[in-house]
Amino acid sequence: MKTTLARLLTLAALTIVPCLLGPRLARAEAPAPALATMELTGPYVYQNLAVFAVHDKNAAKHEEVLTLQEALTKKVVTVQETGDVNRLLASNHGKEAVYLQSGDIVKGGRQDRVLQHDTLLPAHSKKVALNVFCVESGRWQNRGSESVHHFASSNEAFMTKRQKMAVKVAASQGAVWDSVAAAQADMGSKLGASVHAPASSTSLQLSLEDKKVRESVDDYLRNIEKQIPEKDDVVGYAVAVNGKVDSVDVFASPSLFGKMKGKLLKASATEAVASKSDKTTATPDASAVRSLIADAESGAAKAEKQNLRTKVTRKETSKNVVFTTDDPFVRGKPVHKNYLAK
């Protein structure tokens, strides 16, 4: 009798648990192939920027998620001030999960901020804490007609390697401010004019909205985008600037990558503008991308952050680092893998 009861309880548990966790777990994908074996096409080159497309013929079909900018535009997500420069709160009032990417800049509030970690906001979630850094050191009040309590948009992202390392590896407010100042100085030097906005000279967001910056970045985008093939198995990009591969971003599905690729390419084009050199450099081939990936993955794993829908793992060597974002409710492929060369 006890044995029969135990079997019934086990069967009930196996039936109920997938229902509690939702269809994402019930539709678990097969284990992902090694990223190093995925197909790379390119490089697609314009001036000092080279882009490789990452293809996955076994790409997962995960649930549809909104990007942060989509959610802010639809007004289903609010990102609000807390009074703490390094902490914000996000609430998702919608029916779909929302993906926030490390390096996303949110504009408004008391100061523009940049997100430290990738975060998935579950549907109908309230006041999820976000670790952030200030990217506008000279303001602690509303700017013009912007709300002092909330953030209205997230159209831009950190772009230079120094900025990404400051946020994700050093995790230092001082390093972030230094990286912002350096980027503003580099862009101004390359474009022959200051990119400091009168409304807030320390705001990276406003510098990225500068007319000359936009025109230069748009020139790169026009020339790169027309080269990259429109295929439904592309899940990421690898980027080289001035002949060196410095980042790789790969997503679980072509759908999520399709929503993120515009911001990724824009950030890479901005980095190329700020880093442009008169020196001629050889364009790297796919082996350089695979070498970066293999080296980063050889590092020891360390958990960075975890909430209901987000687990971030970091692996690091003396040369490279990789951050892997997993959703515990979606087994199979990571939501996002971000490789950075030091």
List the beta strands (DSSP E) in the chain. 39-46, 49-55, 66-67, 77-80, 87-92, 98-100, 105-108, 113-115, 119-121, 125-134, 151-153, 234-241, 244-251, 300-307, 310-316, 320-326, 336-341
* Closest listed residue to residue 35, CA positions, set 313, 303, 324, 327: 324
Whole-model pTM: value is 0.87
173 and 264 assigned to the same domain: yes
2 and 98 assigned to the same domain: no
Q: Write out the two tokens for 124.
A: 């109908």
298 and 205 assigned to the same domain: yes
Domain count, the chain: 2
* Higher pLDDT among residues 175 and 333, named by residue: 175
pLDDT digits (tens, 9 = 90+) for 41-98: 999 999 999 999 999 988 766 668 999 999 999 999 999 999 899 999 999 999 999 9
pLDDT digits (tens, 9 = 90+) for 129-186: 999 999 999 899 999 999 999 999 999 999 999 999 999 999 999 999 999 999 999 9
Domain residue limits at 6: 1-30
234 and 145 assigned to the same domain: yes
pLDDT digits (tens, 9 = 90+) for 270-308: 999 999 988 888 999 999 999 999 999 999 999 876 777
44 and 113 assigned to the same domain: yes
168 and 52 assigned to the same domain: yes
Pairing between strand 66-67 and 98-100? parallel
Mapping DSSP onto H, E and C, the string for 68-92 reads HHHHHHCCCEEEECCCCCCEEEEEE
Torsion angle, CA of 292/298/303/304, rounded to 10 degrees? -20
Burial 233-259 (b: 16+ CB within 10 A, else e): ebbbbbbbbbeebbbbbbbbbbbbbeb
66 and 14 assigned to the same domain: no
272 and 291 assigned to the same domain: yes
3 and 110 assigned to the same domain: no
Q: What is the mean pLDDT of the chain?
A: 88
User: Token pair 């991308």 is at which residue?
Assistant: 289
110 and 142 assigned to the same domain: yes
Q: Are 99 and 66 in contact (CB under 8 A)?
A: yes
CA 306 – CA 171 distance, rounded (Å): 17
CA 329 – CA 325 distance, rounded (Å): 12
158 and 97 assigned to the same domain: yes
List the beta strands (DSSP E) in 101-257. 105-108, 113-115, 119-121, 125-134, 151-153, 234-241, 244-251
174 and 133 assigned to the same domain: yes
